[in-house]
């Protein structure tokens, strides 16, 4: 079975007969500096809470997030990863027809289908380095076709995954205005926006009536195993989302770890500084591999097209044999058979990957 997502070090470890920690995982894009040191302490301290149910509404975490964004905590709902909220949104808002911009994160479409709806797709063009086609999108939302197609919602992932392309806050604001005028919902997935805060529309989007912003603590705060995410929207919308979130969906340790994570501003700043520097270096060494096309990144991963003659599936498989797990994007609608996504990891790990990749691609050319 092919994984729809990255990060399954367990399956690879079983296959290679090694420990999961021996795999260097470039397939899930997690802050390589790890969580704030405060998080480890919070996890240890939170162990005493396991004999109690967690706070069902994540009150303390929502207070902290409310303070962070300068918004009312009643405009926030927490979930078991932002994935739970992606799953809940179509049912809670009774969405039937969602516009997606491919290539993008596949779970919006799957959630729509689970809820009995469907998607209408438009495509970012390879020739434009997969820049999100805002004009095309706005044209569609604002057209007669929008009614014919019975569109009721649109999702944008900003920065987008797997391409790493980002829209400006002004562009997003424009889409939100058009969507509101057309009475369409706009779901804005900002799972990776901590890496480009100037492009985020939080906190202002909290007062936009038909917009839901999703945030994740998985990537930037490096808590993928704890599953913490949240949505920001108008109070009435949050109430609707809450009706569909199962009780106690966010466990006690996750709540305490998240609280510690968002409270450590110094670690957050260090993480951004590190990423910006290392990503630049990583991109320049990748670009030096003959025939590799590197799409301009904006988050903590890099979208790459392998040289002609290579297939993402083959390269992913060969790297896996060396304990290097990358994301094969060839099955992502709108991406080419040569597309891969690489997380930016620590310098020594990035060098190891580049060396393995250069050796493999060089062998072929030679």
Instruction: Note the residues at the interface with ligand PLP (CB under 6 A).
Output: 5, 81-83, 105, 157, 161, 189, 191, 216, 218, 224, 229
Size of the chain, expressed as the number of residues it contains: 366
Q: How far apart are CA 293 and CA 286, in angstroms?
A: 8
Residue of minimal CB distance from ligand PLP?
81
Can you say whether residue 123 is alpha, beta or left, with left for phi > 0 and alpha for psi between -120 and 50 degrees?
beta
Strand 324-325 and strand 118-123: the pairing is: unpaired
Q: Which is nearer to ligand PLP, 156 or 354 (CB)?
A: 156
Specify the 3-state DSSP secondary structure of 102: strand
Q: Smallest distance, Å, CB 34 to ligand PLP?
A: 16
Of 121 and 149, which has the nearer Cβ to ligand PLP? 121
Sheet architecture: strand order including 339-343? 293-294, 301-305, 339-343, 327-328
CB 9 to ligand PLP: min, Å: 14
Nearer to ligand PLP, 105 or 195 (CB): 105
* Parallel, antiparallel or unpaired: strands 97-102 and 76-80: unpaired
Nearest CA to 189 out of 132, 147, 143 is that of 132
CB 178: neighbour CB atoms within 10 A? Answer: 19
With residue 302 as reference, give the H or E element that holds it: strand 301-305
Question: Please, which residue, 23 or 361, has the CB nearer to ligand PLP?
Answer: 23
**Which residue, 73 or 164, has its beta carbon nearer to ligand PLP?**
164
CB of 139 to ligand PLP, least distance (A): 24
For ligand PLP, the closer of residues 219 and 338 by Cβ is 219
| Rounded Cα–Cα distance for residues 320 and 135 (Å) | 40
State the DSSP code for 232: E
| In the complex, least distance from residue 280 CB atom to ligand PLP, rounded to whole angstroms | 22
- Residue 329 beta carbon to ligand PLP: minimum distance, rounded to whole angstroms: 12
Task: Give me the least distance between CB of 88 and ligand PLP, in Å please.
Answer: 12
């Amino acid at each position: 079975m092919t994984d729809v997502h990255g990060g399954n070090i367990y399956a690879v470890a079983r296959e290679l007969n090694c420990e999961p920690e021996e795999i260097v995982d470039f397939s899930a894009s997690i802050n390589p500096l790890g969580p704030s040191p405060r998080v480890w302490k919070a996890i240890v301290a939170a162990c005493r809470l396991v004999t109690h149910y967690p706070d069902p509404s994540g009150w303390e975490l929502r207070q902290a997030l409310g303070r962070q964004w300068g918004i009312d905590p009643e405009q926030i709902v927490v979930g078991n990863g932002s994935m739970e909220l992606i799953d809940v949104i179509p049912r809670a808002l009774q969405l039937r027809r969602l516009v997606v911009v491919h290539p993008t994160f596949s779970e919006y479409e799957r959630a729509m289908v689970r809820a009995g709806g469907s998607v209408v797709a438009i495509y970012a063009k390879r020739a434009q380095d997969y820049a999100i086609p805002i004009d095309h999108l706005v044209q569609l939302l604002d057209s007669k076709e929008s009614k014919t197609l019975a569109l009721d919602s649109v999702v944008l992932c900003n920065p987008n995954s797997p391409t790493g392309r980002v829209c400006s806050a002004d562009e997003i604001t424009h889409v939100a205005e058009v969507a509101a005028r057309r009475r369409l919902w706009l779901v804005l997935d900002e799972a990776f926006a901590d890496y480009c805060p100037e492009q985020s529309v939080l906190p202002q989007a909290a007062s936009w009536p038909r917009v839901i912003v999703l945030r994740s603590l998985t990537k930037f705060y490096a808590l993928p195993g704890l599953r913490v995410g949240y949505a920001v929207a108008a109070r009435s919308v949050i109430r609707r989302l809450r009706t569909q979130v199962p009780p106690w969906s966010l466990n006690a340790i996750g709540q305490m770890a998240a609280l510690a994570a968002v409270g450590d501003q110094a670690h957050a700043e260090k993480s951004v500084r590190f990423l910006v520097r290392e990503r630049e270096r990583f991109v320049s060494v990748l670009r030096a591999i003959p025939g590799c096309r590197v799409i301009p990144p904006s988050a903590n991963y890099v979208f790459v097209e392998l040289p002609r003659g290579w297939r993402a599936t083959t390269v992913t498989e060969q790297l896996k044999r060396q304990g290097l797990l990358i994301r094969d994007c060839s099955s992502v609608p709108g991406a080419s058979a040569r597309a891969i996504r690489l997380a930016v990891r620590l310098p020594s790990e990035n060098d190891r990957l580049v060396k393995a990749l250069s050796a493999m691609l060089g062998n072929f050319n030679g």
